Structure 1
């Protein structure tokens, strides 16, 4: 049961990941991170706004003391197409020097934002810096992008739910679905790269 009537909102397309599939994978990621960081207290750096839901669930699945901090970046401005330039909108509140940092991303596509974050955070001299991405789009190589923890591979469709939005809507869906477009206005789905 999703709690949503998919027939009522034609903008919600095919479900890519169910609430159960997400919950199960987050638990698995939490167990791996717990094992890998045993004896340490990692700082989870969530990338706003999309990773807020994921980091909340992931932190509860990690059986270690963790600190959560947030960064916000943009390569889109008010558009759904990337400008190719990443801007920092909100910086960390914590000093991460000498800390074990785990960047928590909702979705990775080209790696543009991730590479920016990695350079920015490395300059602050953390003890270690790893990445956990809930979603990695087909065509992106988690090994090449140096993503240590990957939740799910997804197709190149524009997706919504579980923190992912279009126009700030649908972040609260407990599942991840393809955005079918706003049929009432005749608008098509945005470029899938706008998810990243």
Structure 2
């Protein structure tokens, strides 16, 4: 683990409030539509679960596992779909949920893959947007928080194989 001083960026309370806001916004935008939420595992599972519980309309939930980081702090740029979804997306609205968008490589590849399944629309929702690291022309449709270029941990985001269970988001100051 890092030997720097831990600094909380977003408390559990701040995250909960933002999830409520996102749930209301998503519910309003998709009212009367067939919505499928696709959570990108493993990083987004906590965020996706919390946001989905705030959505007040019927929603189908599915999961996709991708890999581009391994145990590194930066994306390799090569995105692998480890486990695909099981849902039929034909004629449905799709909301892809991820923990963080930085380079954008993963989301770009997932969107391309999902569009090949003929949904009506594909939008994105991320807990954290690290736009300063973007390598592709892509902006999330729904964003929890925008962050600077720092390594973050907690609330689903891992440090190696650990820290996903921490209920807040933090970084380390040297």
TM-score, with length taken from structure 1: 0.81
2:165 counterpart of 1:160: no
Residue in structure 2 matched with residue 55 of structure 1 by the alignment: 48
Deviation digits for residues 118-169 of structure 1 (CA, Å, limit 9, x no counterpart): 100011110111001110014157xx51311111011211111110001121
Change (3 A) 1:20 1:77: closer
Question: RMSD across aligned C-alpha pairs, in angstroms?
Answer: 1.9
Supply the distance in 2 between the matched residues of 1:163 and 1:11 (Cα, whole angstroms).
21
SS in 1 for 2:112: helix
Answer yes or no: is the 8 Å Cα contact 1:41–1:64 preserved in 2. no
Q: Which segments of structure 1 move beyond 2 Å, counting only runs of 4 or more? A: 9-12, 76-83
Could you give the per-residue CA deviations for residues 65-107 of structure 1, whole angstroms, max 9, x where no partner exists? Answer: 1111111111234544433211110100111111110000100
Mapped partners of 2:139, 2:102: distance in 1: 13
Task: Report whether the alignment pairs 1:98 with 2:102.
Answer: no
- Change in 2 beyond 3 A, CA 1:140/1:63: farther
Q: How does 1:59-138 map to 2 (within 5 A)?
A: 59-77=52-70, 79-138=72-131
TM-score, scaled relative to structure 2: 0.91
- Bigger Rg, structure 1 or 2: 1
Which one of 15, 21, 29 corresponds to residue 22 of structure 2? 29
Whether the 8 Å contact between 1:161 and 1:172 is mirrored in structure 2 is: yes
Structure 1 residue runs without a partner (length 5+): 1-8, 182-196
Contact 2:6 2:173 in 1 (8 A): yes
Residue 4 (structure 2) pairs with residue 17 (structure 1)? no
Structure-2 change in CA distance of 1:134 and 1:127 (3 Å): same
